[in-house]
Amino acid sequence: MLLMDSARHAGFSPVCLDLSVGLPSPTPSPPPRRDTEMEADAGPDRSRVAASVTDEKGRTLEAQLTQASEEIRRLTETIAHLKASQTARPASPEAGKKRERESPEPSDSCCDGTSNRKRAESPLPLSDGASCKRIKVSKVCTRIDPADTTLTVKDGYQWRKYGQKVTRDNPSPRAYFRCAFAPSCPVKKKEQVQRSAEDSSVLVATYEGEHNHASPTRAAELPTSCGTRSGSVPCSISINSSGPTITLDLTKNGGVRVLEAAEEPDLKKLCREIASPEFRTALVEQMASALTSDTDFTGALAAAILQQL
């Protein structure tokens, strides 16, 4: 989880909700009973009526959430099947070469922005492959304002754009970034807008490698800048080796709450609010409605999974 990782690095604890979509156990959602517990203090009669209403509503929401989770799980299984059938096939030497190129063997010298020319001058010895760790590639889908043409996912790190290319399979240009701390930081990021005509609000970012430093801007930037992230929806989907995960960054504008710099001393109060049944109910309601009614979500999820193939 990029958001969480970077936040951890910065020693800041943003309010992020992590939902592991592919896990065997269903997504933990606060039981509707909490609503009744919450209402119980209001009064015996009123609370009973309210409890039955919220209980029913909670059950409906839970059912919707379960249904959405099931759908996601089926999609994940289908993708896994496809992936398994692909890897089961004997790979031709050419295919092997292509794969090697598409997921290059990791090396600080080949992912810190050095050119192809330089790589050709000092090719990696094949025998050295064992000493090279496999590069960590993760993909993140983020919804942005369709009018936003900057093609950047604001993840707290400083990225320097070094190229842009229009690719064949996508009318939208693909932007290439490297960490502003390069070459000391090996991370690269590729970005492309998926299906610009239909889902221009979905940005798919591919990260190669891991930052070897704390986020330079996160700690200082997060409290103030999140208010300026116009149009960004505080929800991102990332797929990595541990499986697909949804991150809900509640610190971003447009989330349930925006954490302002002046409010930092009230962090405990904020945590209490987040832990409260009201907050959980609102969160579940928001998530359930978003999951079930947002066609972009399923589209973005499918796109993200397909990208991983």
Partner DNA sequence: CGCTTTTGACCAGCGC
Partner DNA sequence: GCGCTGGTCAAAAGCG
Q: Nearer to DNA by C-beta: 97 or 133?
A: 97
Q: Nearer to DNA by C-beta: 140 or 291?
A: 140
CB of residue 189 to DNA, shortest distance in Å: 9
Task: Determine if 242 is a binding residue for DNA (CB under 7 A).
Answer: no
Binding mask 159-188 for DNA (x = CB under 7 A): xxxxxxx-xxx----x-x---x-------x
CB of residue 161 to DNA, shortest distance in Å: 5
CB of residue 162 to DNA, shortest distance in Å: 5
Asked if residues 156 and 215 have their Cβ atoms less than 8 Å apart, the reply is: yes
CB of residue 244 to DNA, shortest distance in Å: 21
CB of residue 113 to DNA, shortest distance in Å: 4
Stretch near DNA under the rule CB under 7 A, chosen from 2-10, 79-87, 110-118, 294-302: 110-118
Q: Nearer to DNA by C-beta: 137 or 288?
A: 137
Task: Determine if 116 is a binding residue for DNA (CB under 7 A).
Answer: yes
The only residue of 46, 98, 134, 213 in contact with DNA, by rule CB under 7 A = 98
CB of residue 88 to DNA, shortest distance in Å: 19
The only residue of 37, 70, 100, 266 in contact with DNA, by rule CB under 7 A = 100
Which residues contact DNA by CB under 7 A? Answer: 94-95, 97-98, 100-101, 111, 113-118, 120, 158-165, 167-169, 174, 176, 180, 188, 190
